[in-house]
Structure 1
C-alpha cells in the first residue's frame, strides 16, 4: 500500500512511495501531526541520483522492522533536496554545526516545530566502522525524547541560535585588480600540478573557477590563469569523469586523477561545463575544447531532454542497484563487440586493462592521448556506444528544475551561436518557453515540474537569477526583445523579493516564503552558482541590455553584491568562482557589441565574428539599425541610435562606458575585440 508520497511530482519521493515507512512530504500537516502525537520528526533528505540514498533506502526504509520503529516513535518526512533547496540548506547547516560534516542522505531529528536536536547522514543497518546501526539511533533518540526532552529542546535552541548567527551577510570588501590577481595566485598554489583541478580525492569539476580564470586571462594576459584552465580542462576531458563514448561529465572523480567517477550525471554540471569549454573553444587554440563542448551539448539534447522540451535533473549513478555498471568495460567485452583487432586497439586507446581501474576487473574509459586514426576512433566509439545502449540503463530523474534549466538555456544559446549550431539555440528557446508557460504561475516562478505538471515548491533565488540569465542569453542569440522583457521582469521580482536589509546581500528564499527556523542566505558558489552570484551576473548583463532607465540601478546592485562577496573571493576563491567571474566582467566593462544590418544575412559575418571572439561575460546583440524604444513594444535598447555606416552593416564595440568608432569590416572588428 502506497504512503503519502504517491502523489508527488518528484521521482525521488516516488521511489519511497511503497516503503513500509509512513512517509509524509514536508507540509504543515506533518508538523501538526508531530505536535498532536507529541513525538519528534525524523527528516530524511536526499535526491534521486544519490548512491548512498539508495543504499540506505534498501537497507532501512524497505525493512519492516526498522519501518515499524520509525512509525511508532516519529513522524517521518522525506524531502527531495533538489525540490526544496531551502530545507536542505538550513538543515545541512545544522548537520554541519553538530557533526563537522555533511552529505546525503541527511538524517535529522527535529522537535515538532522543526528545530533540529540530533543530525547525521547515512546510518547502516548494522554497526560498522564506528557507526551505530540505524535502529540503535532510533531507539536512543526515542528514549532521549521520552526521558530528557527538556535537554534536547534546549540543545535544539542553541543549534538554531548558532545557525542564525552564522548566516548574516559578509562585510563589504572591494574586488579590484590586485584582489583578483591575488585570488589567481592562491588558486595556482592549490592546483594539482599533475592532473589539474584542486585538492585531492574526491575531485570536483571547477567549472565556475575555470570561467573566472579565463576572464582574468582575457583581461590581463596573466599566463598563470590560462595554464590552470588548460591543465584542468585537459585532465577532465581525458579522464573517466568524462563519458568518452556518449559525452557529458559525471558528478565528480573519486580519485585525484579524474579516472573513476561517481557515475551520476547532473544537469547543472554539464550546463556549466558546456559553457566553460565553449569559452575555451572560441578564445584559445585548445584542440579538444570544441569537441568536448559539442559532445556535451549533444549529450544534453539526447539523454536529458524531456518530451516537453525541458531538461531532466540527472541520470542515476546506479543501474539496477549496481554503481557504474552501464559504463565500465573489460578487455574481453571490447573484443566481443569489436573483434580481436579493434578490441585490442580500443583497450589500448581507452586505457582498459586486465587489472581494471574500477571494481571486479572493469575499467572506466579514458583517452590518454588523441588517436592517430580518427576515422577508426569514431567508428569504434559508435559501435561501443551502440553496444552500451543495449545494456540496462541508469534511471533518469526527469523533473525539470527552473534554475538548472536556466543554466542549460544560457549554455546552449551561447554555444549554439559561438559554434555555429542554430538547432541548439532552438532547443534553448523551447526550454525557456516551458519555464515561462509551466513554471511561471501568477507571475512567480515555481521550482520544478514533471511531465508538464508544475510542482508546489516556490522558486528560490537561484531559479529567478539563472532563468533570467538564460533568457538574456537567448535575447542575444536571437535578437528577440520578448526574451529580454521576460528576463527583466524576473530580475525586478528577484530584487524586490529576495533582498536582505544590508545593501548587496540577498536571501535564497522570497519574503513571503515558508518561514523556517533560519532564512537561508548562502553566498558561496558550490556545485552551481549561489543564488546571489547568479543574480549579480544577470544584473550586470541586464545593465547593458536594458537601456538607460534601468542600467545604473542594475549595475549598482551588482557592484554592491560583488563587494559583499569580496572576502569570500580573496579567502576561498575555489568556492567563489562565479563571484570572481562577475568581478572580472565589471572591471572589463563588460564588453558590448551591437551589430546592425537590414537583414540577418547581411549582418551575419559581423555578428558571428563577434560571438566567436568576445571575452567571457561580454554582450553581443544583432538586429536592424536603430531598433530602440520600448522593450515591451519590440525595441532592443542596445541597438538604439546605431545606424548603418554608409549604408553598410556595422558593429559598435564598447568597453564599459567607452565606445570605439563603428566598423564595417570583419578584420577591423577582430582588432577592436583584441584590444
Structure 2
C-alpha cells in the first residue's frame, strides 16, 4: 500500500527532484497497485441504505453546514432526507432499510427518532417548515407505535411488528446512541418547539425510567444524560421570521455562530405577516426567548 506521511513538496525536496516528477512517479505507482489489486476478489460491501445511519449523517451535515456556512453540506443533508422520505416510507410508516432500490421492513426506534432529530436540525439550518412538520410526524409515530403507557418508556421495536419472546429495549449507548435516548431527545426538542405536552411528558417519562441505571452506570448513558441536561437547563428558544424576498443566510449565520446548549431554533420564510410564525412554532413558555 502506498503511503505518503509527509507533504509531497517536502518529499520532492528531500529526494532532490521536481514536484512534477514526483507526481508522475506516484501516479505510475497507483496505476500498478490498482492493476494488481483488481486481480483479487473484491471485498464484500454491504449496500443496504439504513435509515438510522443516514439520519446521523443528515444531522451532522445540517449542523455543520449551518455552523460553518457550508451550503454544500446542507444540500447533501436535504438530498438524503428527501430520498428517505420519498423512497423509504409505505402507508405513512417509515421503513428500516433499502437495497437495490427496494425498501423493506418497518423502521426501528433509532430509525424514527434519529431521523426526527435530523429533520429538526435540518429545519434549523434552512427554516423550511416541511422538515419541522415531518419531524413532528415521526415523533407522533414513535408515540403511537413505540411508547408503552404501562412502563412509561419506549421499546426498540413497534408494538405491531413480529411477535418476540421479549420485546427488545436497550437504553445504553454503544457505537451509536440508543433508541430510547434518541426518542427522549426528539420529544424534548419537539416539545420545546411545539409546546406539546405529550412530547414533554414522554421525554420526562423516558428519562425517569432510566434514573437508577444512569446513577449506577453513567458512562453507558451519555446521550440520555444530555437529554437530562436539556430538560433541566434554561434553554434558549430562537424564533426567526424571514420575509420571502430576503436572504435568510445572514440571519441564520448570526444565530448559528452562538453556542446554544440545549437551545432550539425554528422559523419561517414567508411573504405573509409575522403572525404566521405562530403556525410553525409555539411561543416559548419556559426558557429564554431570543
Q: Deviations over 1:8-32 (max 9, x none)?
A: xxxxxxxxxxxxxxxxxxxxxxxxx
Q: 1:576 offset after TM fit, Å?
A: 0.6
TM-score by length of 1: 0.37
The 5-angstrom pairing of residues 32-111 of structure 1 reads none
* 1: CA distance, partners of 2:257 / 2:47: 33
The 5-angstrom pairing of residues 363-512 of structure 1 reads 387=30, 391=34, 392=37, 396-455=45-104, 457-512=105-160
Q: Does 1:579 align with 2:224?
A: yes
Given that 2:234 and 2:288 are in contact with CA atoms closer than 8 Å, whether structure 1 keeps it comes out as no
Tell me the equivalent position of 2:174: 526
Q: 1:387 offset after TM fit, Å?
A: 4.6
Q: Deviations over 1:577-634 (max 9, x none)?
A: 10011111112233211123325746543421211213243212243433235xxxxx
SS in 2 for 1:446: strand
Q: 1:474 offset after TM fit, Å?
A: 1.4
**CA pair 342-618 structure 1, distance change in 2 beyond 3 A:** farther
SS in 1 for 2:154: coil
Number of paired residues? 272
Given that 2:52 and 2:110 are in contact with CA atoms closer than 8 Å, whether structure 1 keeps it comes out as yes
* 2: CA distance, partners of 1:636 / 1:340: 56
Tell me the equivalent position of 2:11: 341
* 2: CA distance, partners of 1:419 / 1:558: 30
Q: Does 1:597 align with 2:262?
A: no
Find the structure with the greater CA-based Rg: 1
Q: 1:452 offset after TM fit, Å?
A: 2.1
Tell me the equivalent position of 2:280: 636
TM-score by length of 2: 0.81
Given that 2:61 and 2:77 are in contact with CA atoms closer than 8 Å, whether structure 1 keeps it comes out as yes
* 2: CA distance, partners of 1:616 / 1:395: 41
* 2: CA distance, partners of 1:464 / 1:511: 14
* 2: CA distance, partners of 1:513 / 1:409: 26
* 2: CA distance, partners of 1:531 / 1:408: 16
* 2: CA distance, partners of 1:522 / 1:474: 27
Given that 1:603 and 1:622 are in contact with CA atoms closer than 8 Å, whether structure 2 keeps it comes out as no
SS in 1 for 2:46: strand
* 1: CA distance, partners of 2:128 / 2:152: 30
Q: Residue 233 of structure 2: which of 560, 583, 588 is its match? A: 588
Structure with more contact order per residue of length (Cα contacts < 8 Å, sep ≥ 6):
2
Tell me the equivalent position of 1:612: 257
Given that 1:525 and 1:576 are in contact with CA atoms closer than 8 Å, whether structure 2 keeps it comes out as yes
* 2: CA distance, partners of 1:447 / 1:597: 36
The 5-angstrom pairing of residues 135-154 of structure 1 reads none
**CA pair 587-593 structure 1, distance change in 2 beyond 3 A:** same
Root-mean-square deviation (CA, aligned residues, Å) is 3.3
* 2: CA distance, partners of 1:623 / 1:415: 21
SS in 2 for 1:445: strand
Q: Deviations over 1:376-410 (max 9, x none)?
A: 9xxx9xx79x959x645865422110111112111
Given that 1:334 and 1:343 are in contact with CA atoms closer than 8 Å, whether structure 2 keeps it comes out as no
SS in 1 for 2:260: coil
Given that 1:504 and 1:558 are in contact with CA atoms closer than 8 Å, whether structure 2 keeps it comes out as no
**CA pair 597-498 structure 1, distance change in 2 beyond 3 A:** closer
Q: Which runs of 5+ in 2 are unaligned?
A: none
Q: 1:334 offset after TM fit, Å?
A: 6.5
